[in-house]
Amino acid sequence: MHEMSLTEGVVRILEEQAATHGFTKVKTVWLEIGELSQVDPESMLFCFSAIAKGSAVAADAVLEIVTIPGQAYCLDCARTVTLPRRGEACPICGGWGLQVTGGGDMRIKELEVE
């Protein structure tokens, strides 16, 4: 489960940002997870509740997941398409020449802090 190490990274970033910007507590974390990122949002929620408890900065934080739709550019029909999963054909022309252009990342979008 790579979500555990990803969550550890998120909490480490929260702690680093607290030290840099002088806040003492994170109340809410908005985490964008792309549909094509191969990160399971439910697993992230579970892992965050376990990992954050060990952090003075994030112990009581709430994790909010924002899902970003997958997008790809089809080289066959020259269109940008919505793609719910990797490894699927273009929903417009059925071609396989797809280049992911969005929804493949995970990032901290916003923090509510004290």
47 annotated as belonging to a binding site for a ligand: no
Give the separation between CA 85 and CA 53, rounded to whole angstroms.
Answer: 33
The CA-atom distances, in angstroms, between 45 and each of 15, 37, 74 are 18, 16, 33
The closest alpha carbon to 101, from 77, 61, 74, 67, belongs to 74
- Give the strands of the sheet with 106-113, arranged side by side: 62-68, 26-34, 106-113
2 is in an annotated binding site: yes
Binding residues: 2, 74, 77, 90, 93
Binding residues for Zn(2+): 74, 77, 90, 93
Binding residues for Ni(2+): 2
